[in-house]
Structure 1
């Protein structure tokens, strides 16, 4: 959260809205393209939790080592494709840019992103292993140290008014170097071995990829339905409007991130409880997490809505001004998102994937046309309104009408 404050406050003043919009849009690709791990990261969480339940260290070591090897192979392949695309994509059209120098900067930034994204994908997989081991706190501490280093580097870089490529490199390094101490911990605990990985990869790879395939579909849907907002705004309204949306997104991350930190570690706990048949634990924790997430989201979002004007003005040096109506609508969506993400952790941990796949497909089919149409009619307001409407149709309504039994099955004795 501190990194978000510094990344905006220290750069938007000298970058200006358009260059800042290019930078934050490229950074948004990290979340938007997370599906390119083919779901292997999420599969590792569930498989690690299940194998940890059996207390078979050899099997657990083989699963972790082979799964991470598969992820390295995927990441390298993704990097090659992205490097090629960075050279041929029409960046002027993507960001609606007219300045040739800014187009060149966007192209160079995309190349930096392609290289850094390899490390981010692998780092995410290592974090997912610790999630499955129910040691997410260790992963959080490693990320905290890495982000503190990124904050320091960002402050120094801003003093020298560096361009978009250098800023991207710093942010991507902050999201990936935290994996280094985590790998050392796995190795020292005898849970990571190159030899075990190569020996078991032909057995584990099909299982990891099969388990990950359903998560892959979910991640693709999330990318299309949720993650592409900045790209849609950049290409239809311009990079300057994307900067305003990016500031709003980062503002409400101060409500979303604490809830995510509290609820995401439950993924591994749900998976282990589901594997061992501990339904009472699942019922108790799910009820507590949903009520807690909704309550905390309401409190944090209310504070952000009431204090948004001085916060945003000071944060962006007055470059960005967000209308109160837009902030209120985005706050409503933030409460919905925080609560539904707590429910998603339960569904993923208990491997209730089929209803989520149908939901994300319907969400994409509803939200993308709505976003394109309503953004033309209502600007940035239309983007958020489209998201809320599509979510109501595709999640609570769909689950209640067609998947109620499947969704509550892990709760039944």
Structure 2
């Protein structure tokens, strides 16, 4: 019994050190990302103008919708690797990595093929509701660059999910920081050369792709060669596991994207692309709160999975309680500060290019607090592999949120979008998740 307790304490200590390292590295990566955004947003806003910038923001939102293109296998890989890590099964991890590479490479080929077939038949500018000749001409090529780079990044992302599953997210974060710097240089060069929008998009999505390729080479080629993918380790059983778990994550991603990333699309179609900037720029400012919260809680997903595999439920319960309090407190402080100071910050940042109403700022502030608690709970539920509950909650949240957005935007303008999200998420996701958490620890399920 004493040796078991000693081993458990050792695993707990290692787990918490990995969480701390991942959080610190994530903080550095987020700081770099935010810094590059602070430089690039006002430059691109003034360079592109309201309409073309609004189109770019819609494309940025499209990235979130495209995240489902891996069929949820990336998240399934993360969970499976975390569980195998908890069992100290290195051979199993290699099988999972190899199988994920094969499936995701096939998906990337399929996405590129579909793009090539559909591209000539789609009137792309109508998706963005743009009017100027320049914006109409740039819409199609910009989308092609965006989707093409994203498709290539699908199998490249295996290394990031593997690093997260092994609780080595700090490696991923350092590469993301490098990608942010590279992307900024690309954007600055494109603006200096007066390049069209497709080149700005290439800088935006191409930098993470290059960083991801380099990460694969270093991680699997040097640091973790014993789990590097090879064709002999591909397993049908592993493919079934990844696709089965991945399908659940896929549906969850799709519903979440429709709920939380639809704002720019709905505003563009309701009020025109030129109105998107008034929502998107303040939302980016408040997104700093989400970045800080994610920095802290994201490493907990694989840590929960590994701890559960080792039977360390006491650590899970204690850590979840702390993460909920820390997430809510951090978001509340950040939101209060930004609701008060956002008008001055935005004027310093982008001048008078945007003028958000107070109702929007207040809604964004409240939403970030609720979202922070929800994210902390989601990391716990993912680690517990409780996906079915999240799916049901997400479906109800999406249905109500989108309906309310369409109605509220007509009634109160752009602020209606975030209030619709806040109300629906609180009622159909947050409250039920808190009830489920209490029941899990009360019954020991």
TM-score (structure 2 length as normaliser):
0.87
Moved more, 170-179 or 276-285: 170-179
State the distance in 2 between where 1:273 and 1:69 align. Answer: 29
Determine if contact 1:40/1:125 at 8 Å carries over to the other structure: no
TM-score (structure 1 length as normaliser):
0.94
Q: Are 1:40 and 2:73 matched, yes or no?
A: yes
Flag structure 2 segments of 5+ consecutive residues without an equivalent.
Answer: 1-33
Cα offsets for 1:3-59 (capped at 9, x unmatched): 322231111112110000011111211112211211101001111111112223222
Q: Are 1:291 and 2:316 matched, yes or no?
A: no
Moved more, 382-391 or 184-193: 184-193
State the distance in 1 between where 2:240 and 2:163 align. Answer: 22
Q: Aligned runs of 1:295-334 on 2, under 5 Å?
A: 295-334=329-368
Q: Compute the displacement of 1:91 (Å).
A: 2.8
| Counterpart among 167, 175, 197 of residue 208 in structure 2 | 175
| Counterpart among 167, 171, 183 of residue 138 in structure 1 | 171
Q: Report the counterpart of residue 53 of structure 1 in structure 2.
A: 86
| Counterpart among 159, 162, 180 of residue 147 in structure 1 | 180
State the distance in 2 between where 1:247 and 1:191 align. Answer: 45
Q: Compute the displacement of 1:186 (Å).
A: 2.4
Determine if contact 2:81/2:165 at 8 Å carries over to the other structure: yes
State the distance in 1 between where 2:437 and 2:63 align. Answer: 33
State the distance in 2 between where 1:23 and 1:135 align. Answer: 33
* Change over 3 Å in CA distance of 1:85–1:317 after alignment to 2: farther
Q: Report the counterpart of residue 376 of structure 2 in structure 1.
A: 342
Determine if contact 2:377/2:433 at 8 Å carries over to the other structure: no
Q: Report the counterpart of residue 406 of structure 2 in structure 1.
A: 372
Q: Aligned runs of 1:4-23 on 2, under 5 Å?
A: 4-23=37-56
Q: Report the counterpart of residue 119 of structure 1 in structure 2.
A: 152
Moved more, 148-157 or 392-401: 392-401
Q: Report the counterpart of residue 242 of structure 2 in structure 1.
A: 208
Q: Report the counterpart of residue 388 of structure 1 in structure 2.
A: 422
State the distance in 2 between where 1:79 and 1:243 align. Answer: 30
Q: Aligned runs of 1:186-197 on 2, under 5 Å?
A: 186-188=220-222, 189-195=224-230, 197=231
SS across alignment from 2:385: coil
Determine if contact 1:87/1:107 at 8 Å carries over to the other structure: no
Q: Report the counterpart of residue 267 of structure 1 in structure 2.
A: 301
Q: Are 1:97 and 2:130 matched, yes or no?
A: yes
Determine if contact 1:224/1:364 at 8 Å carries over to the other structure: yes
Q: Are 1:238 and 2:272 matched, yes or no?
A: yes
Determine if contact 1:375/1:382 at 8 Å carries over to the other structure: yes
Cα offsets for 1:297-332 (capped at 9, x unmatched): 112222222221122122223211212221111111
> Alignment length, in residue pairs?
410
Flag structure 1 segments of 5+ consecutive residues without an equivalent.
Answer: none
Q: Compute the displacement of 1:258 (Å).
A: 1.6
Determine if contact 1:50/1:275 at 8 Å carries over to the other structure: yes
* Change over 3 Å in CA distance of 1:236–1:272 after alignment to 2: same
Q: Report the counterpart of residue 412 of structure 1 in structure 2.
A: 444
State the distance in 2 between where 1:355 and 1:143 align. Answer: 32
SS across alignment from 1:10: helix
Q: Report the counterpart of residue 192 of structure 2 in structure 1.
A: 159
Determine if contact 2:87/2:310 at 8 Å carries over to the other structure: no
SS across alignment from 1:339: helix
Determine if contact 1:350/1:410 at 8 Å carries over to the other structure: no
| Counterpart among 63, 69, 72 of residue 102 in structure 2 | 69
Q: Compute the displacement of 1:191 (Å).
A: 4.1
State the distance in 2 between where 1:64 and 1:282 align. Answer: 26
Q: Compute the displacement of 1:192 (Å).
A: 4.3
SS across alignment from 2:225: coil
State the distance in 1 between where 2:199 and 2:128 align. Answer: 19
SS across alignment from 2:234: helix
State the distance in 2 between where 1:399 and 1:77 align. Answer: 36
Moved more, 348-357 or 295-304: 295-304
Determine if contact 1:279/1:411 at 8 Å carries over to the other structure: no
* Change over 3 Å in CA distance of 1:348–1:255 after alignment to 2: same
State the distance in 1 between where 2:442 and 2:171 align. Answer: 28
State the distance in 2 between where 1:314 and 1:400 align. Answer: 39
State the distance in 1 between where 2:384 and 2:425 align. Answer: 22
